[in-house]
Chains A and B, each alone.
Chain A
Amino acid sequence: EIVLTQSPATLSLSPGERATLSCRASQAFSSSYLAWYQQKPGQAPRLLIFGASRRASGIPDRFSGSGSGADFTLTISRLEPEDSAVYYCQQYGSSPGVTFGPGTRVDIK
């Protein structure tokens, strides 16, 4: 089973700044099978990125994903107050099912 680790655990930034979130896997896998989700307090997760770099429908272009092998990155280019949330990376496409990273909390000062 592939284990995902995310860093940092918490990120505290100001509006307009750039956020860089890291997701590292215990072994390399196809970038086609890496997704990122955003979860705000009291809400269900929302799919942001799939296939490592493809934005889901309705996701603003300030969110971008990159990476390959075992190292992946989610970048939020210009933070907005509503981007305050926990962000999870997810590996999929393998048996028995998907695995999630532990999450990175982004706080907007």
Chain B
Amino acid sequence: QVKLVESGGGLVRPGGSLRLSCAASGFTFSDYYMDWIRQAPGKGLEWVSYVTGDGGTRNYADSVKGRFTISRDNANNSLYLQMDSLRGEDTAVYYCARDLGQGQLDIWGQGTMVTVSS
């Protein structure tokens, strides 16, 4: 069964850091691009970042560039998002999603909530 499970969310102060994880199972993880998407409370979907299957190419939304870092560990079927210099506007549910190669996101995790507040 194809599955993605996020973890690592929580409450953090502005300026702080958090590392999100996404555990993948049921498919050959290294064959797929992976993305992070977020959704602020009551708002729509915002793409955050993607990484290619071999980890060699990464891309970021302008809103997080220079503050967030996406990475993956194919040996352990895991995706990560290191979030530094967090701001209130980063408060959202963060989803990891399997990417079919050009941005079609066919499998999503259940999401993990990140709250940035003092």
Contact = CB atoms under 8 A, between A and B. Distances in A.
A97 B59 contact: yes
Nearest to B36: A97
Interface in B76-118: 95, 100, 102-106, 108-111
A103 interface: yes
Contacts of A100: 44-47
Interface stretch (A39-47, A64-72, A73-81): A39-47
Interface in A49-89: 50, 56-57, 88
Q: Is the interface of B mostly helix, strand, loop or mixed?
A: strand
Nearest to B102: A93
A102 B39 CA distance: 11
Interface string B37-69: 100000011110110000000011110000000
A47 B98 CA distance: 11
Contacts of A98: 35, 47, 103, 105
Interface of B: 35, 37, 44-47, 49-50, 59-62, 95, 100, 102-106, 108-111
Interface of A: 33, 35, 37, 39, 43-47, 50, 56-57, 88, 90-93, 95-103
23 contacts: A35-B103, A35-B104, A39-B45, A44-B95, A44-B108, A45-B105, A45-B108, A47-B104, A56-B106, A88-B44, A88-B45, A90-B105, A91-B103, A92-B103, A93-B102, A96-B61, A97-B50, A97-B59, A97-B60, A97-B103, A100-B44, A100-B46, A100-B47
